[in-house]
């Protein structure tokens, strides 16, 4: 369980990294919408696991975007150092957040099942013609 200090630093890191990716990286490989979904800090606050969700055209463009973000890690970390008032800046480790994609897929399946259920109910309640 994260301490208050870990949560507080994680919020600052999440905001700074999101801002850096959205507004300060001019890499043409970054396509689509990139969202920092969560940040997990180690207890010593020296490492930050950054989970990003990437919505792009296809898997290849999403992979290119993720590679570009990993390539810009040191630039993002230097921008974070300007925002973070601490003795040291945590080392950033980027991961693709698969939870978010799975949640979206699950919601789509639920919506599809609900639509089919309503369609079947409508067919069951039709009045037969005499």
pLDDT tens, 65-118?
Answer: 999 999 999 999 999 999 888 888 999 999 998 887 788 888 889 999 988 888
Which tens digit of pLDDT belongs to each residue from 13-35?
999 999 999 999 988 899 889 99
Number of domains in the chain: 1
**CA distances in angstroms from 38 to 26, 67, 117, listed in the order given:** 23, 19, 35
> Would 112 be classed as within a structural domain?
no
Is 81 part of a structural domain of the chain?
yes
Q: Which residues of 67-84 are buried (b: 16+ CB within 10 A; e: fewer)?
A: ebbeebeeebbebbeeeb
What token pair was written down for 55?
A: 């919505």
* 118 located within any domain: no
pTM: 0.78
Residue at 58 is within a domain = yes
Task: Answer whether residue 122 is part of any domain.
Answer: no
> The tokens 């975007």 sit on which residue?
65
Q: In sequence order, what E strands does the chain have? A: 33-41, 47-55, 91-96
Looking up residue 75, the CATH number of its domain turns out to be 3.30.300.20
Determine how many CB atoms are found less than 10 A away from the CB of residue 35. 14
* Enclosing domain of residue 67: 4-97
């Amino acid at each position: 369980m994260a301490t208050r200090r870990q949560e507080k630093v994680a919020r600052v890191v999440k905001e700074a990294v999101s801002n850096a990716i959205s507004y300060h990286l001019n890499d043409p490989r970054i396509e689509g919408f990139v969202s920092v979904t969560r940040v997990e800090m180690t207890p010593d606050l020296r490492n930050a696991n950054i989970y990003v969700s990437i919505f792009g055209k296809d898997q290849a463009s999403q992979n290119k975007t993720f590679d570009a973000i990993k390539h810009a890690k040191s630039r993002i970390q230097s921008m974070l150092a300007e925002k973070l008032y601490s003795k040291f800046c945590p080392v950033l480790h980027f991961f693709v957040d698969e939870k978010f994609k799975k949640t979206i897929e699950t919601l789509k399946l639920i919506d599809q099942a609900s639509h089919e259920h309503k369609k079947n109910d409508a067919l069951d309640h039709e009045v037969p013609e005499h």
